[in-house]
Structure 1
Amino acid sequence: MDTVILSDWLAARLDRTAAEPVYRQTLRLMQQAILTGQLPPGTKLPSSRTLAEDLGIARNTVLHVYDQLTAEGYVISTTGSGTYVADTRPDTAAVNMRRKPAVASVDKEDSTARETTKPPKRDLNDLSARGRRLIDKAGVSAKQWGAFMPGVPDVAEFPARTWSRLQARLWKEANPDLLTYAPGGGYRPLRRALSDYLRVARSVNCTPDQIIITTGIHQSIDLAVRLLTDVGDRAWVEEPCYWGARSVLQSSGITLVPVPVDDEGLNPSEQDLQQPPRLALVTPSHQYPLGMVMSLARRRTLLEYARQHNVWIIEDDYDSEFRYGSRPLASLQGLDEAGQVIYVGSLGKMLFPGLRIGYMIAPEHLVDTFRTGVAELYREGQLMQQAVMTEFIMDGHLTSHVRRMRALYGERRQILIDAITARFGSELPVMGDEAGLHLVLGLPDHANDRAVTAAAYDAGVIVRPLASYYSSDTPARRGLLLGYACVPNDKIGPAFDTLARVIEQTALKAPTRAA
């Protein structure tokens, strides 16, 4: 491509009406021409004045483009001689030392019909074994809002004006200490406020020093696993359990041992007990996803077993603030006298998920270790956000917001249960509705809850299949997780009518027998 063709080529591709500035378009197009070989190494570029006149743009614009191309190594400028395309082609010898030659092909966009190497096809085989397992079993949803997305609070009810006022005041002061990294496990005033709150609300036994601020439960679990386990160690997980926690453990190379739950919570068999794990991950106050509460006898048994066999217990207390008809239950950590329990929680369920402030309570003898670990691995920050959260708690806004949302979510829960009863009576059981932000709607054993979920999604309703929370391909129960917290009262009935039609069409038909 000579300089005249370059001017014509650029002129034909510049869009004067686009939002992207002409400078950015010109730079991008010239980079493309150099990378594809349309401007081969050694090509002399037209002078800035000439190119500006040919394109009808300011000379300064072209000068800025040439300066950027020079800075990024695309071209070489020589005083008195001009600007030339640099040779940025890969070192063939070096490339061939590392891989076999690729199949040659002809680049149809190249007017010289030069030969290029076809890029290798990329797929899941490029991932590590644990990477493939993570992606293959991923439970994350493309949509995070709407009927009936489980586990999502109503962010529209968050007192944004109050938060904004507190935040504006702190930003006005602009304390430099709040704009740097977060050493020592997080903002100390927040750790002190959380310690006071958790002692009252959750019967947690801790000092401010034991609290480590994280970005959420996932990071808290990840930190504990990295510091307390090695690849290949065994971990008890509830069967079924939260897919996100399972993914964190598996990605760290932990061998999962699914332990069934019954009406009293985690119920290890004799075989399980004979092989103590390195850690156990439990949701004793509101099992996720089925909703049962671990009995006091089971709690004491688990704590004693952990003490005798040096098992770490991670207590995931994700939504215990929202109980309907009874007070929140005391934590497992509050019963721990041996320092075996690591308590993790999040403020996102109470306020809004995007807040990304979580916390963990480390046993006293591990405090310094966990502080160092969180700083070394994640380089924590967000001190300004943590300072706002502190003011929010200290001024009483957190307590009043939780109280108000508990009442609102209780109303929505009842509206959904009434809709289920009106449509299906006792044909489909409701489980795990005593607390939290979701309930489980049971389906017949022959139903395919994954197929129901897909059909509901196509109809505009989001649910999660209970099967995806089991490690086995043949789950013990079939059902759907329905979140009601983020659905306005007047939208619950119509949305459930849509879901009910899907259930009737895909799950309640009697299975056909093979001839």
Structure 2
Amino acid sequence: MITDLQIDSTLPLQQQLYRQLSQRILQRRYPAGSRLPSSRQLAQDLGVSRNTVNAVYDQLKSEGFLQTQAGRGIFVHEDIDSRHCPPTKGASPQPERVAIPPLPALPEGAIRRSDQDSNLPFTPGLPDLAAFPIRAWNRILHHHESRPSLMGYNSLQGYRPLRRAVAEYVGSARGVRCHEDQVIITQGAQQALALIADIFLKPGDRVLCEDPGYRGARYALGRHGNPLIPVPLRHQVLDIDVLADAGPARLLYCTPTHQYPMGGILDASQRMALVEWAQRNQTWIIEDDYDSDFHFYTKPFAAIQGMFDQAPVLYMGSFSKTLMPALRVGYLIVPDTLVEHVLRAKRVMGGETALLTQAVIAEFIDSGQFTRHLRRMRQNYREKWEQFQGLVIDQLSGLAAPIAESAGMHLVLTGDWPDRDCNHWLWQQGYGSTPLSAHYLGPAQQQGLVMGFASASDQQLRDCVAALAIGLARAGKR
């Protein structure tokens, strides 16, 4: 008879009994070869159903704790691995220390875990989610969520109606020359960058990057140890003249329509010079057109990809800022001859992109909702940009200088203060930002804060600038 089991009738009986019996076996309180009561007897002793006991016994037998001996009863298995049992009878089991192989070192500049909230107001790249047309989105979602054709597998390349919608949209809005078979739907822009790195880069291949620039590109393109060569800016855009002395490179990453984070825009002559340089040097241009939809006063220049026939350009974008980051859907547009290369790499990296989400985005675009949403957000962000810039000029004069083009979802503030300390201080006040110095590949040439105004309310715009007036004044005195 077993007398040391305690059963609480308010908790799942089967779970309790399994846990207590297995622990006692591991602790060698029931040693190998010892006999346990029959299921009938144990059920009677504990006042539980025999079915409950039988289910627990069956589970313990399937896991090798118990064994049945014909005509004799149920016993603790004779081959219970004693390495998992403590040597002292009755002692509490201690987890065994197991030697594991050496872990790889984190590369320099690797992202480390952080408790900071990525959805605070003024977080760069975060759109105005409160203004998202969620009812229209949900109607489309409900229309698709029960379709059997969207419950299975689809194509590595992406849902054809979405590829068609993307090709038509970037063709009309950005002048991109492509058809739907050149479009690959990705799991966000970051996967597009990682795919490019996997396809194009061999050990030792150099990659040119804007400096300062988008950190996500640096992480993806440098993850195999390829040298990342900083290319400085001039007048807040990539300095094309410097490229003549930059040396050979396999890839060049740039944000020509709204340089990230400084906001400059390459003009038509600079774009032509960039493509001519790339053709001479056999370098592929990665054109990240992430912010092209939010120009407030003038229509943006056409994408580099569409300006020339046979341009060595890999064009990429995503729906993180135009719709919402949680979708994790982007797109990569490449020449026909590269499509199979991308699909082979995508098969290894992550497989298909979520099919239901793709179908909802496709209908959202085709129904005209996407264009209407962008029109509203363009006006929304223009008003916030004007208000934020005005507040900064009025209240932060002498403390911070805004660097802004009439486009995008963020504003850069520069000044004579330690930007990483100010970034942390702002987070403690409940506001997001990123330090400008973190965007430099080499030594930081400026200190500043990259502040995304799109997600902030009118009151938060005023409150944050008032807080900055106090915080930056203190920081500048240190």
- Is the TM-score greater than 0.5? yes
* Matched residue, 2:471: 502
Cα RMSD for the two superposed structures? 3.1
2:476 aligned counterpart, secondary structure: coil
Pair 1:422 & 2:414 matched: no
* Contact 2:27-2:91 at 8 Å conserved across structures: no
2:146 aligned counterpart, secondary structure: helix
The C-alpha deviation readout for 1:371-422, integer Å capped at 9, x for no partner, is 3332343221422221121111110000001111111122222222222223
Q: C-alpha separation between the residues in 1 aligned to 2:92 and 2:403?
A: 66
Q: Percent identity?
A: 34
* Contact 1:180-1:381 at 8 Å conserved across structures: no
Please point out which of 51, 66, 70 is paired with 2:57.
66
Unaligned runs of 5+ in 1: 93-105
| 1:458-469 to 2 correspondences below 5 Å | 458-469=428-439
* Matched residue, 1:4: 3
Pair 1:158 & 2:149 matched: no
* Contact 1:181-1:379 at 8 Å conserved across structures: no
Q: C-alpha separation between the residues in 2 aligned to 1:260 and 1:427?
A: 25
Distance 1:173 1:463, change over 3 A: closer
Q: C-alpha separation between the residues in 2 aligned to 1:342 and 1:38?
A: 66
The C-alpha deviation readout for 1:62-117, integer Å capped at 9, x for no partner, is 3333333333444444454214257464989xxxxxxxxxxxxx979973489985
1:222 aligned counterpart, secondary structure: helix
* Contact 2:264-2:405 at 8 Å conserved across structures: no
Unaligned runs of 5+ in 2: none
One-letter identity of the residue aligned with 2:143: R
Q: C-alpha separation between the residues in 2 aligned to 1:332 and 1:36?
A: 69
Pair 1:397 & 2:389 matched: no
* Matched residue, 1:216: 188
* Matched residue, 2:103: 127
1:152 aligned counterpart, secondary structure: coil
* Contact 2:437-2:448 at 8 Å conserved across structures: yes
Distance 1:442 1:196, change over 3 A: same
One-letter identity of the residue aligned with 1:246: R
Distance 1:207 1:116, change over 3 A: closer
Q: CA deviation at 1:459?
A: 2.3
| 1:237-386 to 2 correspondences below 5 Å | 237-263=209-235, 265-267=237-239, 273=245, 275-386=247-358
Q: C-alpha separation between the residues in 1 aligned to 2:330 and 2:402?
A: 30
1:440 aligned counterpart, secondary structure: strand
| 1:69-88 to 2 correspondences below 5 Å | 69-80=60-71, 81-85=73-77, 87=79
* Matched residue, 1:111: 90
Distance 1:264 1:152, change over 3 A: closer
Distance 1:39 1:467, change over 3 A: farther
Distance 1:385 1:113, change over 3 A: closer
One-letter identity of the residue aligned with 1:133: E
1:417 aligned counterpart, secondary structure: helix
Q: C-alpha separation between the residues in 2 aligned to 1:309 and 1:423?
A: 48
User: What is the count of residue pairs matched by the alignment?
Assistant: 477
TM-score normalised by the chain length of structure 2: 0.89
* Contact 2:27-2:90 at 8 Å conserved across structures: no
1:172 aligned counterpart, secondary structure: coil
Q: CA deviation at 1:264?
A: 5.5
* Matched residue, 1:103: none
* Matched residue, 2:424: 454
Q: C-alpha separation between the residues in 2 aligned to 1:164 and 1:389?
A: 11
Distance 1:478 1:84, change over 3 A: same
